[in-house]
Amino acid sequence: MAIGLAAVRTRSLFALVMLSGGFSLISAALFVTLDAVDVAFTEAAVGAGISTVLMLGTLALTSRYERPPAHRPWLPLFVVTVTGAALIYGTLDMPNFGDANAPAMQHVMPEYLAREPHEIGVPNIVTAILASYRGYDTLGETAVVFTAGIGVVALLATLARRRRRRDGEEEES
Amino acid sequence: MRHHLILRVITKILAGTIMLFAFYVQFHGDYSPGGGFQAGVILAVAFILYGLVFSVETVQQVMPPWLVHRAMALGLLLYAGTGVFSLLTGYNFLDYTALAPHHPEHGQELGILLVEGGVGITVTAVMLSIYYAFVGRTPVIGDEEW
């Protein structure tokens, strides 16, 4: 909470990147307390590690301070407040933490838990679900990551190469 | 960062350790938290850390951009190829029983290993190529500016 407020207040983008990295680390700790160790691992590695470095790399390309806003913040503030209130209202219907009758625990989860040990026999059931039962989804996720990489390479890497080629031609002529 | 002696020494010690940990996360994913996604990111971090402290050129000698770009596709192909293999041998797409028809559990384990390997390769390569794309554009900010 305090980190979020500080991140909104600050104008220094460097401090902002560091704060968001710290925020990711804290939410990773939160996931650990919720017993979602795999998610926490991902959050710590991606959120706190890689994205901080990539943001710093972007920062090196742009300016290091945010411009003062050109317009009044009231309309965005209103939208954010209403959306936040709607989301909090939505959580009122959610089952209690650790409730065995929660919908997420009812649907396919008991079946996976019962079938996994003799069908796959991998102790970490998250891995089994991710790679085997939900193999299609994971293939899709990998394809998404791949597409993102291709997009960045197509946008940025060719630009650098073109500029280098142009510089080379100028040197020759 | 030529004059940051401590950073350089620590990085040299840590880079290898981080890679080792990445492989541990990758191959021990069956037993403990973690898997291809996390391991890929951690492995990429090792290279990026090295690139930050030394220079991008030094990293690109080890991991040239053309290799990274091909590895991106290779990982996805490994994943989809596992599926196509099971398809060709008469099972459903991504049904790992095809890899060891007489021991379905071994097939599952092998399939998960292959698939997670594909995920790991793709994630490492994508992270590295994004890093290369960002860093390769402008001269790095001088030390005194930080």
State the average pLDDT over residues A113-126: 70
For B79-118, the DSSP string reads: HHHHHHHHHHTTS-TT-GGGGSTT-HHHHHHHHHHHHHHH
pLDDT in tens, B36-91: 788 888 888 888 888 888 888 888 888 888 888 888 888 888 888 888 888 888 77
Q: Would you call A145 and B38 a contact, using CB atoms and an 8 Å cutoff?
A: no
> DSSP 3-state assignment of B33?
coil
d(CA B115, CA B108): 10
The answer to whether residue B89 sits within a structural domain is yes
- Return the higher-pLDDT residue of B20 and B113: B20
Interface with chain B: mutation pick from A146, A155, A158, A163, highest number of B CBs within 10 Å: A146
Q: Which residues of B touch A49 (CB under 8 A)?
A: 41-42, 45
pLDDT for residue B14 is more than 80: yes
d(CA B96, CA A13): 48
pLDDT in tens, A97-115: 666 666 666 667 777 777 7
Q: Which residues of A touch B111 (CB under 8 A)?
A: 131-132
Domain that holds residue A148: 111-173
Predicted confidence at residue A145, as pLDDT, reads 87
Q: Would you call B72 and A149 a contact, using CB atoms and an 8 Å cutoff?
A: yes
Clarify whether residues A60 and A2 are in a common domain. Answer: yes
Q: Which residues of A touch B108 (CB under 8 A)?
A: 119-122, 128, 132
Predicted confidence at residue A149, as pLDDT, reads 86
Q: Would you call A119 and B34 a contact, using CB atoms and an 8 Å cutoff?
A: no
- Which residues neighbour B61 within 8 Å (Cβ) at sequence distance 6 or greater? none
The model's pTM: 0.75
Clarify whether residues A57 and A115 are in a common domain. Answer: no
The answer to whether residue A94 sits within a structural domain is no
pLDDT in tens, A26-77: 888 888 887 777 888 888 888 787 888 888 777 777 666 666 666 777 888 8
Clarify whether residues A59 and A2 are in a common domain. Answer: yes
The answer to whether residue A35 sits within a structural domain is yes
Smallest CA–CA distance, residue A49 to chain B, in Å, is 8
How many distinct structural domains can be found in chain B?
A: 1
pLDDT for residue A172 is more than 60: no
pLDDT in tens, B102-142: 777 777 778 888 888 888 899 899 888 888 887 776 555 55
Confidence of residue A171 (pLDDT cuts 50, 70, 90): low
pLDDT for residue A162 is more than 70: no
Task: Quote the mean pLDDT of chain A.
Answer: 75
State the average pLDDT over residues A4-11: 65
The answer to whether residue A134 sits within a structural domain is yes
Fill in the DSSP letter of residue B29: T
Confidence of residue A173 (pLDDT cuts 50, 70, 90): very low
> DSSP 3-state assignment of A65?
strand
Q: Would you call B105 and A60 a contact, using CB atoms and an 8 Å cutoff?
A: no
State the average pLDDT over residues A146-169: 71
The answer to whether residue A145 sits within a structural domain is yes
Which of A42, A64, A86 is the C-terminal boundary of a domain? A64
